[in-house]
C-alpha cells in the first residue's frame, strides 16, 4: 500500500478519509455530472479494495450495500484502504434506467475512451483514475427488470485468486462466470486486478436479505484480507460450474410453483403456462438438477422467454 493515494489530483495519506468528485461530463442544461468517490485509509499498510454499486442505474441494491457500509461505519479499518463509489452511473440513476441517455451499457463500454460516448467516458474515468490504485474489488449488481437474483458471487473459478476471494466473501452461491468482452471485470483483469461480481434482487426493488448478505460478505472478505478484526460467521457456499435457463415453450401467463433458492430435479414441475382465456394449461418441467438462482417475476411470457435461472453442476 503506498503512503499516498492520488486520485484526480487529490492526495490521500495513510490514516486519512476524503470525499472527492470525478468530473465526467456536462448535460445540455450546463449541469455537471460528477462521480462522488469516498476514500478511507488506515494508518497501517494493507490491500486497497474497491467497492462499487450502480454501474447500472436501476440496480439499487448494490448502491444500498455500499451506502450502508459507509453510513453505518462498518469500514473502520485496521489496515489497508477502501475506495468506495456507491453510484457509478449517475445518469441512469436519475432516470431509473439501466444505461445512460444515449442507450449504451457502461458495463459493455470498457476500457472506455476519453472522446467517446457518455458510457465510454465513465468507463475511461474509472479505468484511468481508480483501477491503477486498487488490488481487489467487489462490483455489486442486481437482476434486471422483473428478474430477481438469489444472493450470489460470480467469478472465474479457474482463476485461483478469484476463487479464494469468493470463498472468503462466503455468499450462499458461487457461480462460475467467464469474463465478458468490454465488461468492467474483464478490463480490470487485464490490468491484473481481481473484481468479484455480487448479484442479488431485482432492479428498482430493495432486497433486504440480499443487501445484508452483501454487507456481511464484504466484511468477511475484508477480515480475510486482514483489514478488519471482526466479521459475521460465514456460510458454506455452494459452488456451481454452470447455469442454464428454463424457457417458455409458448406464450401465455406463467404460474410459478417454485421460488428463489429452491433445489430442483430433472423432470420436476416448475410451474404452468396458461392462455388468458381458460383453454390451455401446459407444464414447465426442469431439464436439470440444480438450484434456482434467478426468476422472472413477470407473469406474461412469450415463446422462448427466460423464466428461471438454474445453477447446475455443483462442485463437491
Q: In terms of residue numbers, what domain contains 218? A: 4-236
* Domain stops at, among 176, 202, 236: 236
User: Is there a single domain that holds both residue 23 and residue 171?
Assistant: yes
Confidence at residue 316, expressed as pLDDT on a 0 to 100 scale: 76
Give the pLDDT confidence of 137-151 residue by residue, as tens digits.
Answer: 999 999 988 999 999
**85 vs 67: CA distance, rounded Å:** 9
Cβ neighbours, 10 Å, residue 29: 6
Phi then psi dihedrals of residue 36, to 5 deg: -70, 135
Q: How long is the chain?
A: 316
Q: What is the pTM of this model?
A: 0.96
CATH number of the domain at 53, please: 3.40.630.10
Cβ neighbours, 10 Å, residue 113: 12
Looking at every residue in the chain, the average pLDDT score rounds to 95
pLDDT average, residue stretch 54-73: 96
User: Is there a single domain that holds both residue 39 and residue 98?
Assistant: yes
pLDDT average, residue stretch 172-196: 97
Confidence at residue 157, expressed as pLDDT on a 0 to 100 scale: 97
SS3 198: strand
User: Is there a single domain that holds both residue 145 and residue 252?
Assistant: no
User: Is there a single domain that holds both residue 230 and residue 245?
Assistant: no
Residues 142 and 206: beta-carbon distance below 8 Å: no
Give the pLDDT confidence of 80-109 residue by residue, as tens digits.
Answer: 999 999 999 999 999 899 998 888 999 999
| Percent over 70 (pLDDT), the chain | 100
Cell 485509509, residue located: 41
User: Is there a single domain that holds both residue 245 and residue 231?
Assistant: no
Q: Please, which pLDDT band fits residue 304 given cuts at 50, 70 and 90?
A: very high
User: Is there a single domain that holds both residue 54 and residue 201?
Assistant: yes
Any idea what DSSP says for residue 130? I
Give the pLDDT confidence of 105-139 residue by residue, as tens digits.
Answer: 999 999 999 988 899 999 999 999 999 999 999 99
Specify burial of residue 308 (Cβ count, 10 A radius: 0-12, 13-18, 19+): buried
Confidence at residue 235, expressed as pLDDT on a 0 to 100 scale: 81
Give the pLDDT confidence of 201-218 residue by residue, as tens digits.
Answer: 999 999 999 999 999 999
Q: Please, which pLDDT band fits residue 27 given cuts at 50, 70 and 90?
A: confident
Q: Name the nearest CA neighbour of 84 among 44, 25, 41.
A: 41
Q: Please, which pLDDT band fits residue 191 given cuts at 50, 70 and 90?
A: very high
User: Is there a single domain that holds both residue 229 and residue 278?
Assistant: no
pLDDT of residue 244 exceeding 90: yes
**194 vs 192: CA distance, rounded Å:** 7
The bridge status of strand 269-274 relative to strand 252-256 is antiparallel
Phi then psi dihedrals of residue 190, to 5 deg: -65, -25
User: Is there a single domain that holds both residue 195 and residue 257?
Assistant: no
* Domain stops at, among 236, 253, 274: 236
Q: Please, which pLDDT band fits residue 278 given cuts at 50, 70 and 90?
A: very high
CATH number of the domain at 252, please: 2.40.50.100
Amino acid at each position: 500500500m503506498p503512503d499516498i493515494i492520488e486520485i484526480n489530483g487529490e492526495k490521500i495519506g495513510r490514516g486519512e478519509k476524503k470525499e472527492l468528485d470525478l468530473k465526467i461530463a456536462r448535460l445540455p442544461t450546463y449541469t455537471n455530472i460528477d462521480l462522488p468517490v469516498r476514500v478511507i485509509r488506515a494508518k497501517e499498510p494493507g490491500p486497497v479494495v474497491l467497492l462499487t454499486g450502480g454501474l447500472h442505474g436501476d440496480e439499487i441494491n448494490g448502491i444500498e450495500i455500499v451506502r450502508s457500509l459507509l453510513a453505518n461505519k462498518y469500514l473502520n479499518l485496521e489496515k489497508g484502504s477502501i475506495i468506495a463509489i456507491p453510484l457509478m452511473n449517475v445518469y441512469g440513476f436519475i432516470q431509473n434506467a439501466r444505461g445512460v441517455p444515449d442507450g449504451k451499457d457502461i458495463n459493455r463500454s470498457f476500457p472506455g475512451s476519453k472522446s467517446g460516448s457518455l458510457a465510454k467516458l465513465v468507463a475511461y474515468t474509472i479505468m484511468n483514475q481508480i483501477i491503477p490504485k486498487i488490488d481487489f474489488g467487489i462490483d455489486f449488481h442486481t437482476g434486471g427488470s422483473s428478474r430477481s437474483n438469489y444472493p450470489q458471487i460470480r467469478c472465474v473459478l479457474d482463476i485461483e485468486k478469484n476463487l479464494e476471494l469468493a470463498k472468503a466473501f462466503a455468499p450462499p452461491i458461487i457461480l462460475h462466470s467467464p469474463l465478458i468482452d468490454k465488461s468492467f471485470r474483464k478490463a480490470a483483469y487485464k490490468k491484473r486486478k481481481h473484481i468479484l461480481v455480487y448479484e442479488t434482487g431485482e432492479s428498482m426493488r430493495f432486497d433486504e436479505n440480499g443487501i445484508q448478505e452483501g454487507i456481511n460478505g464484504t466484511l468477511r472478505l475484508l477480515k480475510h484480507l486482514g483489514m478488519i478484526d471482526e466479521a459475521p460467521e460465514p456460510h458454506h457456499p455452494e459452488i456451481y460450474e454452470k447455469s442454464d435457463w428454463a424457457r417458455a415453450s409458448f406464450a401465455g401467463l406463467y404460474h410459478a410453483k417454485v421460488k428463489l433458492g429452491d433445489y430442483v430435479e430433472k423432470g420436476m414441475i416448475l410451474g404452468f403456462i396458461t392462455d388468458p382465456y381458460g383453454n390451455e394449461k401446459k407444464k414447465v418441467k426442469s431439464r436439470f438438477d440444480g438450484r434456482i438462482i434467478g426468476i422472472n417475476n413477470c407473469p406474461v411470457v412469450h415463446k422462448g422467454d427466460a423464466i428461471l435461472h438454474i445453477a447446475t453442476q455443483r462442485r463437491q
